[in-house]
Structure 1
Amino acid sequence: MNATTSRLFILFVLALLMAASRAHVFDHFSPPDASWAVFFIAGFHLRGWGRWAFPALMALAVGVDWWVITGQGIDFWNHYCVSAAYWFLVPAYAAMWAGGAWLRRRYAGARWDALGRLAFAFVLSVLACHLLAQGSFYWLSDSVTDPTLAGWWKNYTDWLAPYLVTAGTYVAIAAGLQVAAERIAPMVGRGGRTAH
């Protein structure tokens, strides 16, 4: 599989994962929303494609939200989650993409030092993403009637760990697949060859 085909496959899988998890296609069996992880992983794997792949994934996220909300018979613009804060998802997801892209620029293969950089880039990206997404919702939406700094901080810290764990689980799976692709697949390929 050449590099372009491989990246298109990764984009397809990420888009499918985000659509399925964001839309709760499988009802009670749906995986948790993978959107944050999708943008981080895309930033890592789709370098050079950011000009079109990032907007395409953003459009997919908004499209899925629109489909789910209107499918419930609710006007999209009057939904609880859609306010001026909704548009802060663009810089929030861009923070996740930037973290993945930063990691890719410093990536020289599946080694222990790469794990430290992965943890640093991922946690920093999640902190920024959560600050933008949660902070904008707390301060700009009509859902919080009496916003205070203490209330915002409590809300931020209450929701940070669940988002970190969810996105981290997906990123850990992707990292495991990356290691397998780099370390195990070449050994399997060599093992299948016979000497002449």
Structure 2
Amino acid sequence: MSLPTLTVKPGAVALMALMAATRFHHFGTPFALPDASLAIFFLAGLWLGGRYLFVTLLLEAGLIDYLAITKLGVSDFCVSQAYVFLIPTYAAMWLGGKWCRQFTALAPVALAKQFAALVVATSSAFLMSNGSFYLLSGRYPEGNWSQYIERFALYYPPYLTNTLLYAVVIFAAVSAIKHIIAQKGSHQTA
């Protein structure tokens, strides 16, 4: 039995660096960007795939959270029994990205389908992470539906918006760079 060959992909390194730079604050602060983890898992599923990268990103997220809490004084409020539900949360994003692999053209219909998949994946991820936190964290012992809906209305818009912004901006930038490189290549061979 042979071990899998380890190849370093620049895209994976870039996404991991973005996670390391942004994971410290969910919604950002005046001095820190909001967390890009959801978009990172989506884009990694879309462009890179591979279960080893998925596991590596999960381990990186956990390590960053551990270091942020134990060494940098970040609050541990969100760490609870529900923390394990980040695995299916990120899997929803990853699988949404993988599903979008079938759309290879940058045609408006394909882009609209990818955007819809991103919204559905992000909304599913929110329901898993937020719902599990609300039910299992112990932070809301007297929880009820009206309180959950209030918290949903408070946290869902920035959760969705931040993810959409990161994913769309990164996707557009990478697409533009690929287009420029392709144009240069076609001019050099002509």
Question: TM class by shorter-chain length?
Answer: 0.7 to 0.9
What does residue range 185-196 of structure 1 map to in structure 2 within 5 Å?
A: 185-191=181-187, 193=188
What does residue range 24-63 of structure 1 map to in structure 2 within 5 Å?
A: 28-47=30-49, 49=50, 51-63=51-63
Deviations 1:53-88 (A, max 9, x none): 1111000001000001001468x9xx3211111110
Task: Indicate conservation of the 8 Å contact 2:46/2:100, yes or no.
Answer: yes
**Structure 1 counterpart of 2:93, from 75, 92, 96:** 96
> For structure 1, which segment, 177-186 or 85-94, has the greater mean C-alpha deviation from structure 2 after superposition?
177-186
In the alignment, structure 1 residue 117 sits paired with structure 2 residue 113? yes
**Structure 2 counterpart of 1:159, from 138, 146, 155:** 155
Under a length normalisation based on structure 2, what TM-score does the superposition of the two structures give? 0.87
The whole-number CA distance in structure 2 between the counterparts of 1:145 and 1:135 is 14
Listed as ranges, the gaps of 5+ residues in structure 1 are none
In the alignment, structure 1 residue 69 sits paired with structure 2 residue 69? yes
In the alignment, structure 1 residue 133 sits paired with structure 2 residue 125? no
Task: Indicate conservation of the 8 Å contact 2:103/2:114, yes or no.
Answer: no
The whole-number CA distance in structure 2 between the counterparts of 1:182 and 1:61 is 28
Task: Indicate conservation of the 8 Å contact 1:110/1:182, yes or no.
Answer: no
Deviation at 1:156, TM superposition (A): 1.6
Task: Indicate conservation of the 8 Å contact 2:39/2:163, yes or no.
Answer: yes
Runs of 4+ in 1 over 4 A off after TM superposition: none
The whole-number CA distance in structure 1 between the counterparts of 2:156 and 2:166 is 16
What is the identity, as a one-letter code, of the residue corresponding to 1:101?
A: K
Count of aligned pairs between the two proteins? 182
CA 1:171–1:73 in 2, change beyond 3 Å: closer, same or farther? closer
Deviations 1:5-53 (A, max 9, x none): 7x711110000100110136xx853211000100000010112x1x211
The whole-number CA distance in structure 1 between the counterparts of 2:87 and 2:189 is 52
Listed as ranges, the gaps of 5+ residues in structure 2 are 1-5
The whole-number CA distance in structure 1 between the counterparts of 2:35 and 2:16 is 12
The whole-number CA distance in structure 2 between the counterparts of 1:54 and 1:18 is 13
CA 1:87–1:155 in 2, change beyond 3 Å: closer, same or farther? same
Deviation at 1:181, TM superposition (A): 3.7
The whole-number CA distance in structure 1 between the counterparts of 2:154 and 2:73 is 31
* Structure (1/2) with the larger helix percentage: 1
CA 1:189–1:69 in 2, change beyond 3 Å: closer, same or farther? same
